[in-house]
Amino acid sequence: MIRSMTGYGEAAAHRDGVHYFLEVRSLNGRYFKANIRLPEDLQGLEAELEAALRHRVSRGSITLTARCSDTSGEAAYEVNHEALTRYVEQLRRSKAVADGSVALDLAPLLTLPGVLSPPSNEEVKLDRARVAFMHLLDEAIAKLIAMREREGTDLVKELMTHHDQIVERLANIEQRVPIVVDEYQKRLHTRVQAMLTDAKILAEPADLIREVAIYADKTNIAEEIARLSGHMRQFDDLLHDTSDRPVGRTLDFLAQEMLREANTIASKSADTEIAREIVEIKSAIDKIKEQVQNAE
């Protein structure tokens, strides 16, 4: 199934007095690239979250942002009473505090090094966050993939429009090929006859046949038409592939091969009608190359 590489998903939950929020955004990218944004005290979850992302998303630039706010009593920092007492004792020995000209305020002392320390249950907090965020990640990725699939459906319709245009133009070229050789034979016969009549010389039919055969061989584009037709069939198969395997890179490579065959046809054929058809084919291929950059 074709998926776009752009999408968004989010999820939130409230557990044991802690509010957890996680969002995932994806943009076009040639390869998988993850940018994980976590609170400082939850940086230990980065590798696990990236691995879970990589398991579900194969291509694109992914930004994962996770936040949590703890309103429970367990979020309170612990006061180091010994350190605070030591600071107070030192300040009381100062002249300004001793004579009462400066009041001793404990609040600013709490910001001094060693007075406050994080809760001792950091490991427990990390384990709870891991469980919560992994659950939320599944929910957020499911939303992101659903959005990618919706955009992928529209992308398939757009690509099939260009596919059908190429197939139609290619059929016109295939019908035109024998006509081009026949027209060349008639023009050659007319020119040769006119020249020989003026010179009063008879032309050998074998010579004309040989010249037409050389022209037909030099301008033969049957192989290129066959290869381009094969590319279009493979392109159609990939667009309607029902598996979960990513096909964006394959489509991109296939579009390059389409353009290669179209250029070869253009260089080998001097026919005006075929040239017009090739211009339209190359225009459609350029649009395909642009569109498949957004396919996973």
> What is this structure's pTM?
0.67
Q: Is the same domain home to 175 and 200?
A: yes
User: Residue 289's pLDDT is what?
Assistant: 93
d(CA 226, CA 265): 11
Judge whether 82 lies within some domain: yes
Total structural domains within the chain: 3
User: Residue 108's pLDDT is what?
Assistant: 76
Q: Is the same domain home to 143 and 222?
A: no
Domain that holds residue 265: 151-294
Residue at a domain's end among 149, 168, 195 = 149
Q: Is the same domain home to 269 and 172?
A: yes
Q: Is the same domain home to 159 and 197?
A: yes
HSE of 293, CA atoms in CB hemisphere, 13 A:
9
Judge whether 2 lies within some domain: no
Judge whether 1 lies within some domain: no
105-119 in b/e burial notation, b at 16+ Cβ within 10 A?
eeeeeeeeeebbeee
> Are 293 and 31 within 8 A, CB to CB?
no
Judge whether 137 lies within some domain: yes
User: Residue 84's pLDDT is what?
Assistant: 73
Judge whether 207 lies within some domain: yes
User: Residue 228's pLDDT is what?
Assistant: 93
User: Residue 158's pLDDT is what?
Assistant: 94
Q: Splitting the chain (296 residues) into consecutive groups of 10 residues, what average pLDDT does each group show?
A: 91 89 92 92 92 91 91 63 76 71 72 70 82 95 94 93 95 82 56 54 55 54 87 94 86 94 85 89 95 89
Which are the contacts of 151, defined by CB distance < 8 A and separation ≥ 6?
3, 4, 6, 7, 294
Judge whether 214 lies within some domain: yes
d(CA 292, CA 250): 9
Which are the contacts of 8, defined by CB distance < 8 A and separation ≥ 6?
23, 24, 25, 26, 143, 144, 147
Q: Is the same domain home to 285 and 192?
A: yes
User: Residue 186's pLDDT is what?
Assistant: 56
